[in-house]
Structures are given as C-alpha cells and as structure tokens.
Amino acid sequence: MVNQFAASAPGKVNLHLGVGEARADGYHDLVTVFQAVDQREVVRLVVEDGVASEGESVVAGITTHWTLEGALSEQIDTPSNLAWRAVDAAVAAHRAAFFPVALPKVRIEVDKAVFVAGGMAGGSADAAAALVAANAYLEHFSGTALDQNQLVALAKDLGADVPFALMGGNALGTGRGDDLVEMLGRGEFWWVFVNPRVPINTGEAFGLLDDLRHHNPSLVPHLDTTAVAQALTSGDPEVLAVALHNDLQAAALEMRPQLKELIRAGEAEALAAIVSGSGPTVAVLCRDSGHAQEVRDALAGRFPGYELITTHGPAAGALL
C-alpha cells in the first residue's frame, strides 16, 4: 500500500508589483507579474494508523524540517499552518462533492526551502503542494479526485498567492493578485535572494504605503506591466533589470532602513536589486548562473548572518 503522497511547489518573485486603492474587503487592488523560481517547498502526507471519522480532520499532526540555516522563534507546526489548512480544505471539498469514504489519518511533513515570512510566498507554496498531495491521497483511497478548477477555488480561499504557486511559470495577477493569466517568456533568469532576517508584517506594509501616499504624491500606483512583458519575451536579463518595479518597496524601506544598504550592494554587484513582495527579502537579478554565484559570494561576505539563496526562474507550479 502507498504510505505517503508528496508534492512540491515553487517560491516566487514579483517582477512588477503595482498597488492600487484599498478595497472594501481589506485587500488592495493589485497588478502584479509573478515569476516562479526553482526553490521548492516539499509537502508529504505520511499515512498513519487510524481512520478519521466523518467531519474530523484527517491530519494527525505536522512537522517542519528546516533546510535553510537559522530557526524561527514562532511555532508554525499548528492547525493554522497553511499546509494543514489546505489538506483539511481538500478533504472537506471532496466529502461535499462525492460520497464520503473512510480515510486514514496522515501526518504532514514539510521541507522548508523558502524563507519564512520573506516575501517569496513560501507558505503559499506549502498550501499549493499540500492541495496537490491531498488530491492524490483522496484519489488513491476513494477512487475520485477534485478537478483543477476545484483546486484553484480552494487555493483562492487559502490565500492570494496560493493560486500562482499552483500555476507556476510567469503570470499576470490582478484583483488580489489571484486572478491569473499566463505570460509568455523565453529563457531563464538567475537570482540571488537575500533575507536580512528582519520580518515585515505584510498588512502593516500595505497600510504604511497608504499613509506615505497621503504625503508624497510621487508614490502613485504603477499599474502598467508593458515593460516587464516585453522584457520577458526578450529573454534578456539586462532588459528585465530596467523594468523591475515594486510599489511596496517604499514602505519596506521605511520600515526596515537597513534594506537600503542591501539594495545598494545588490545593484553594485549585479544588474538590479528589488524588494521581493512585501519584503524583507531582496531579489538580486544576475546575468547567468556563474554571475549569480559570484554575486552570492560577494553579498555573503558583506552581510554575514543573512540567509542567501541562488536559483532561477521561471519554474513549474505545484507537482507530484
């Protein structure tokens, strides 16, 4: 008998992040261009003894294995973890759509390869991978599975970045960032991601941007993604370097001024440097894999204690 179901999903970088007005639901209207990067979270559902009763969670527990240096002070192995919530959501949707069957308990194991709360959507990648793994588990034990549209709907309910972690590649996101359209591109782009370990609360970053705009009329929403679209189709990292933009960077730099030095160093060593999402991770764009390794070594020497990842995009979305 199959005793585990595993899937992986990628981290991301926002090549363009335009932030519009606040919405009634508390979110902001976004126009963003995502690129999935080949730094993947792995989620395994390990089958255990015992059967979950109807309405009971099939999840017996969750364990996170850290593949990055450093450890979190906060506890994330709880039912509020996005991977756990994703498994519960998939099982609930399956029970509603099909005749309920007895399902064995599972323990979730997560291999963390993306910075936590770093602006690379690591938690969203966990959720996407968990949805795909849970669907395989459900199909194995019931003979039926959720379709892709159902998985996307669940992903949207779990978080704005989860649908893109399912999709991967390059995509234009609108609305909350979860209405996605695939974008054409060619070639690969190499990145060094640097996490200075100074957390930024995403909601506070959006709120601060709203405040900053009241006092600085130059901080208008940048909602035109034409330059990034052309850069992706060119496949030229030097063209993409000029097109990168993040409206939230102003707020991130206000909240964590030390990011300014990191960005200046990244720009000096590479083609461009930009805050990834709401931060604090800084994404440094390089010419190729060799250049990325040189940049990583230089930044590691200059910023001891920071976490660094070298990887490339675009990458595939969630996969078994």
Selection from 307, 275, 118 nearest residue 201 by Cα? 118
The answer to whether 228 touches 1, Cβ cutoff 8 Å, is: no
319 inside domain: no
Contacts of 212 (CB under 8 A, 6+ apart): 219, 250, 251, 254
**Same domain, yes or no, for 167 and 195?**
no
**Same domain, yes or no, for 155 and 44?**
yes
318 inside domain: no
**Same domain, yes or no, for 10 and 125?**
yes
pLDDT at 72: 52
Task: Please tell me which residue in 105, 112, 161, 247 is annotated as part of the active site.
Answer: 161
pLDDT at 69: 63
**Same domain, yes or no, for 267 and 301?**
yes
Cis peptide before 257 (omega within 30 of 0): no
pLDDT at 54: 80
**CATH number of the domain encompassing residue 135:** 3.30.230.10
pLDDT at 244: 98
**Same domain, yes or no, for 194 and 166?**
no
Residue 29 annotated to the active site: no
**Same domain, yes or no, for 158 and 34?**
yes
pLDDT at 73: 47
Residue 111 annotated to the active site: no
**Measured distance CA(56)–CA(260) in Å, rounded:** 49
pTM summary value? 0.94
Contacts of 211 (CB under 8 A, 6+ apart): none
**Same domain, yes or no, for 81 and 173?**
yes
Q: Domain end: 148, 181, 214, which one?
A: 181
Q: Domain end: 159, 181, 203, which one?
A: 181
Long-range contacts (CB closer than 8 Å, 24 or more residues apart) made by 59-63 = 59/84, 59/87, 59/88, 59/105, 59/106, 59/107, 59/108, 60/105, 60/106, 60/107, 61/107, 61/108, 62/107, 62/108, 62/109, 62/110, 63/107, 63/108, 63/109, 63/110
pLDDT at 250: 95
Contacts of 265 (CB under 8 A, 6+ apart): 273, 298, 299, 302, 303
Number of domains the chain is built from: 2
**Same domain, yes or no, for 122 and 214?**
no
Q: 239 is in which domain, residue-wise?
A: 189-313
Task: Please tell me which residue in 12, 112, 126, 178 is annotated as part of the active site.
Answer: 12
pLDDT at 236: 98
85 inside domain: yes
| Block mean pLDDT (10 aa), the chain, length 320 | 91 96 84 97 95 89 82 74 97 92 95 89 96 97 96 96 98 95 96 94 92 90 96 98 97 95 97 95 98 98 94 98
pLDDT at 55: 81
Contacts of 247 (CB under 8 A, 6+ apart): 17, 18, 19, 209, 219, 221, 222
